[in-house]
Amino acid sequence: MTIPFHPRLTPLWLLILLQAGISASSLVVEIVAGRMIAPYVGMSLYTWTSIIAVVLAGFSVGHWWGGRIAGLPTDRALRITGWTMIAAACTTAGATLLLRATADPVLNNLQHPLAAITALSTLAFFLPSLFAGVPAPVLTVAAMRDRDQSERALGAMFAAGAIGAIAGTLLAGFLFVPWMGSVATLLVIAAIYVLAAGVCFWLGGASRREAMISVSGIGLVLLTGIGAFGLPPVCDRESSYYCIRTVAMSDDPQDPVNLMVVDHLAHGISSRNAPRVMFTEHAAMLDALPRMRMERSDFTSFHIGGGSYSVPRAWADRGISGITIAEIDPEVTAMAVDRFWFDPEIATILHRDARVALRNSAQQFDVIVGDAFTDIAVPEHLVTLEFFTLVSDRLNPGGVYAMNLLDNVDRLHALAAVVATLRAVFPSVEVWTVRTPPQPGERRVFVLLASAEDSPVSMIETAAPDMTRFQVLETGFVDTILDQKNARILTDDHAPLSHIMGLDPVIN
């Protein structure tokens, strides 16, 4: 038995509500996609570019398909749309499972980060976007058919889609992800899609047979959701900014050493029993070089980025006070306190963007440490002429700015650009690195020291964790690199550092 369908009796408000709800849900999925992919490939301009492109491609195919469905009689078109909503619910609930299953094979076989990001985005989120894109043209045509002033209905449906997209974006960023996490958010969206499917079936006058089959589809969605929810979490803490994990590096319970992983990158290693020992080259240099320059322990410092808080913890253990740390994510600080033995009483902690914190502070510092440079996720507003000018203004006479940087030794375009920008502000800019010959294709860690004068030494030795020698590159060699790369100064208007730091084929 089929319930007769009466287009004139279909409330316009219900179609508008359905359009807005589906549009909002699809944008929630888009925002969550970035959060879910970050633990595998990081969060960067390239991540969002790929995700937005994949989601828009899915919407486009869905809209085209929906337009063909909309040409059918309204009752049949709505019933078919109900099935696409079941499919949207199933693929949305299953995105977590698919991402977990494909991440390792994709990352192992696609070495180029942009290819890996695009592949993961497509595998996990193209189909949810495709199916979510089908209803818009169907519902819009249904709203216009056999109505007076159909043009107004058309405008109302377009407005509902836009308002829904705005609402979904805001809800994802301010409500769903911070409060519920990514997996639970996708399951809520899957439930909304199931509800939308039920409304479409009802409006389309679905038969009992179709209703019974739809129950099977809903059961599949439920099983998929249970499977996704039952997976062990990727993150120990999922904040509004990052996926944060702790990895134990020591098997000795009496001498624990932990690694902090933020999204997909190691952000610091700390030992409970040896706070002064640094376990990475960049941390060792950021710890030792400013102390070498100050030649005393009564200096003040401002740290850009907290991470595992290894350097501030080591300095406090040496009796150095006057430490201020700008860490944008409170959950990173909480993790450092809980699992990296950081005492928050030893420093002033500002949970805000470092540039904003530095701009809003009138305090002068002897040392400013920039430790926010990570792989392809580059905070480009922290490497511009305007920011370095702000850093210079906040340094005391004789003060020093130390920042870490990664670059491919076959390119060095990023190193050249940052050095050129620093030289536009500081009289002396030194490039420090480990004293070993570079290997082809190596992504090397550098620390740049910017101040009014050169360091009194050209080499230091410190634990990283084994005793390691670091040296400053000769000025003439650095000048040659800048000339060869035709280095341009980075500004707030144009700082394409993500583009030039080694993602593309080698540029001679």
Q: Please give the model's pTM, rounded to 2 decimal places.
A: 0.82
**CA distances, 41 to each of 98, 372, 374, 377 (Å):** 16, 17, 12, 9
Q: What DSSP designation does 42 have?
A: -
Token pair of 164 as six digits: 């829904």
Contact 348, 376 (CB under 8 A): no
Q: What does the pLDDT profile of the chain (508 residues) look like in tens digits?
A: 444 444 445 788 999 999 999 999 999 999 999 888 888 877 777 788 899 999 999 999 999 999 999 999 999 999 999 999 999 999 999 998 889 889 889 988 887 778 888 999 999 999 999 999 999 999 999 998 877 778 888 999 999 999 999 999 999 888 888 888 888 899 999 999 999 999 999 999 888 777 777 777 777 777 777 777 677 888 888 888 888 999 999 989 899 999 998 887 778 899 999 999 999 998 999 999 999 999 888 999 999 988 899 999 999 999 999 999 999 999 999 999 999 999 999 999 999 999 999 999 889 999 999 987 765 566 888 999 999 999 999 999 999 999 999 888 888 999 999 999 999 999 999 999 999 988 888 889 999 999 999 999 999 999 889 999 999 999 999 999 999 988 889 999 988 877 776 444 333 3
Contact 290, 301 (CB under 8 A): yes
Token pair of 56 as six digits: 């828009």
Contact 77, 69 (CB under 8 A): yes
Contact 139, 15 (CB under 8 A): yes
DSSP secondary structure, 394-460, as one string:
TEEEEEEEEEEEEEETTT-HHHHHHHHHHHTT-SEEEEEEESSPPPTT-EEEEEEEEESS--S-SEE
Contact 32, 177 (CB under 8 A): yes
User: What was the pLDDT predicted at 377?
Assistant: 61
User: What was the pLDDT predicted at 233?
Assistant: 81
Rounded to an integer, what distance in angstroms lies between the CA atom of residue 384 and that of residue 399? 19
User: What was the pLDDT predicted at 259?
Assistant: 93
Token pair of 413 as six digits: 């375009």
Contacts of 106 (CB under 8 A, 6+ apart): 116, 119, 120, 123
Contact 154, 140 (CB under 8 A): yes
Rounded to an integer, what distance in angstroms lies between the CA atom of residue 6 and that of residue 15? 14
Count of CB atoms situated within 10 Å of the CB of 217: 18
What's the half-sphere exposure (Cβ side, CA atoms, 13 Å) at 259?
11
Instruction: Give the strand pairing for 395-408 and 365-370.
Output: parallel
User: What was the pLDDT predicted at 5?
Assistant: 43
User: What was the pLDDT predicted at 3?
Assistant: 43
Q: Which superfamily does 275-500 belong to?
A: Vaccinia Virus protein VP39 (3.40.50.150)
* CA-based max dimension of the chain: 91
Domain ranges in the chain are 7-237, 275-500
Instruction: Give the strand pairing for 459-463 and 443-451.
Output: unpaired
Rounded to an integer, what distance in angstroms lies between the CA atom of residue 496 and that of residue 498? 6
* Amino acid (1-letter code) at residue 221: V
Contacts of 20 (CB under 8 A, 6+ apart): 160, 161, 163, 164, 167
Pick the CATH number of 7-237 from 1.10.3470, 1.20.120, 1.20.1250, 3.40.50: 1.20.1250
How would you class 401 by CB atoms within 10 Å of its CB: exposed for 0-12, middle for 13-18, buried for 19 or more?
A: buried
- 248 beta partners: 258
Rounded to an integer, what distance in angstroms lies between the CA atom of residue 28 and that of residue 95? 13
Q: What angle do CA 288, 291, 292 make, to 5 degrees?
A: 80
User: What was the pLDDT predicted at 375?
Assistant: 58
